[in-house]
Amino acid sequence: MSAPGQALAKEPVHCLARQPILAQDEKVLGYELLFRESPEDNHFNSDAETATCSIIDALNVMGLDVVCDGRLAFINCTHRMLLKGFFFLLPRDRVVVEIQDVPAEASVIGACRQLKQKSYKIALDNFVPGDKREALVPFADFLKTDIRRFSAEQNAALAARYASKQRQMLAEKVESRVQFLTAQTAGFTLFQGYFFRHPERMRARHIPASQATYLRLLQAISAPQLDLTRVEDLIKHDPSLCYRLLRYLNSPLLGLSVPVQSVRHAMNMLGEQGLVRWIRMATTLAVGQDKCSDLVLSSLVRARFCELIAPKVDHGKSDLFLMGMLSLMDAILEMPMGVVVEGLALDPDTKESLLGAKTEGKTFLSPVYDLMLARESGDWERVTAQTKKLNLSLPFVNRTYNNAMTWAHQMTSAVPREDDPSPNQHKSS
C-alpha cells in the first residue's frame, strides 16, 4: 500500500492491435502489428522505437501464436533498431522486419544482409516509384505500396518491375473489394486492409469451424451422463454451430410457437435426445473443414470481448456475446446482414445494432459496438472516446481484449491430444 499522500502508480496500458495481410485467395498470410503506449493521449507521443520495443515485449508475454494465430508478424523497424539487431530476439520464421524511412547507407545494407543471412524476412514499407531505398530491394521479400497514391498505370509498372519469385508486391490501404480487384489487376499478390469484412457478393458459403470443438462435443455427448453446461459452453464457442442451432430452431419447418433466443433455450427446446441427434448431424457435416479463418477467429474475439465487458456496461437484456459473434456473420456467409438476422429471434437492441452498424445508425448498444470495432482495428482515438462514454478504464479494456484474443486462440487451436487438459482448464478468467 502506498504511503499517505503518495500517488498510486498508474497501471500500464498495452494497446496492441493487428491488421490482416491476405493473399489473392483471401487467406491470411500475416498481420501488421500496431501499438500505442497510451491512447489517452490522442497525439501519441511515443516514438516508433518505443512502440516496437513494446510490441516485442507484448509478444513475449502473450505469445506470437495468440497475437498472430501462428502467422507472420510484420513489425516496424527504426534505423537504430536495425543497426542494433533488436529483431534477433524474435523467431526468424515468424517475423517480417518492416523498414520505413531508413537511408540505404552502407551500415543499413550490412544490417539487411545480416538479417537475410539469418533467414529473417524483410519488407520495405511505403515503397514508391523512384524510391531512394533501391539498394535495399535485393534484400526485400515484400514491397509495400499505398496503391491509392498512384495511378493504375504507375502501380502496374511498379509491380512489373519489382515482382519476382523471391519478392511479392503488397498493396496497402485496401478497404473495398473494388480496390482489391484493381490491385490484383495491377500485379499485386498480397493485400493489407479490411476489404474482406465488407462483402459485396450475395452467395452464402459454409462457415469454417474448429475440429477441436467438434471432437470435444462428440466426447461430451458420449459421456455416461450428459453435462449440459459443458455442451452449452462448447456450442457458444463456435460461431458456426451457434448460428446453425439458432437458425435451425427458428426455421418455419419446425413450427415452434416460441422464438428461440439463446443457446440454453435452444437446448431446452430440443431436449437431450434431440440435442445429441442434432450435434451428431452438425459435427458430421463439419468435420474435415479447414481451420478457422481470420473472420471466424475475429468473431470469437469480438464475442468474448463483449461478454467480458458486459457486467460493467448497461446492455439491457441483450446477449453481448451473441452480438459480437454475429457482427461478422455477413462477411463469413457473404450475404447482407439483413438476411443473416432475418432467421434469428434476436432481441430488438441486438438486431438494431447489427443492422445499424451497416447503415451507421446509432442504437442503444452503439457505444459497445463501436468500442469493439475500434479496439480491433487499433483506432486509439475512438477507443478513448467510447471508453469514456461507457465509464470504463483503458487498462481494463485492453486487458480484457488481450484475454479475449487468448481465449479465442485457445478455442480455435489444433485438435487436442488425449493427454491435453480439458477445455474448461483453458478458459481465461
pLDDT per residue, tens digit, the chain (429 aa), is: 334 434 334 444 557 788 999 999 888 999 998 776 544 443 334 456 666 676 766 666 677 788 888 899 999 888 888 998 888 878 899 999 999 889 999 999 999 999 999 999 999 999 999 999 999 999 999 999 999 999 999 999 999 999 999 999 999 999 888 999 999 999 999 999 888 887 665 455 555 545 567 767 777 876 778 888 888 888 887 887 787 777 777 766 566 667 777 788 888 888 888 888 777 767 655 654 554 578 888 888 998 999 999 999 999 888 898 889 889 888 877 778 887 787 676 788 888 899 886 556 678 899 999 999 999 988 888 999 999 999 999 989 999 999 999 888 876 663 333 333 333 333 333
Q: Which CA distances in Å does 84 have to 55, 79, 108, 202?
A: 17, 9, 11, 51
User: Cell for 157?
Assistant: 509498372
How many other CB atoms are found less than 10 A from the CB of residue 177? 14
Alpha-carbon distance of 225 to 59, in angstroms, equals 41
Alpha-carbon distance of 136 to 105, in angstroms, equals 9
User: Cell for 198?
Assistant: 465488407
DSSP state of 144: E
Q: Which of 348, 328, 324, 345 is nearest to 337 (CA)?
A: 328
pTM: 0.75
SS3 75: strand
Q: Which of 344, 345, 296 is nearest to 324 (CA)?
A: 296
Which residue reads 470495432 in cell numbers?
Answer: 373
Q: Does domain 15-197 have CATH number 3.20.20.450?
A: yes
Which residue reads 473494388 in cell numbers?
Answer: 178
**Size of the chain, expressed as the number of residues it contains:** 429
Q: Which CA distances in Å does 117 have to 49, 112, 136, 165?
A: 24, 9, 14, 18
Those residues with Cβ within 8 angstroms of residue 217's Cβ, 6 or more apart along the chain or in another chain? 231, 234, 235, 241, 279, 283
Those residues with Cβ within 8 angstroms of residue 228's Cβ, 6 or more apart along the chain or in another chain? 267, 272
CA 279 to chain CA mean position, Å: 27
Write down the domain spans for the chain: 15-197, 211-290, 294-411
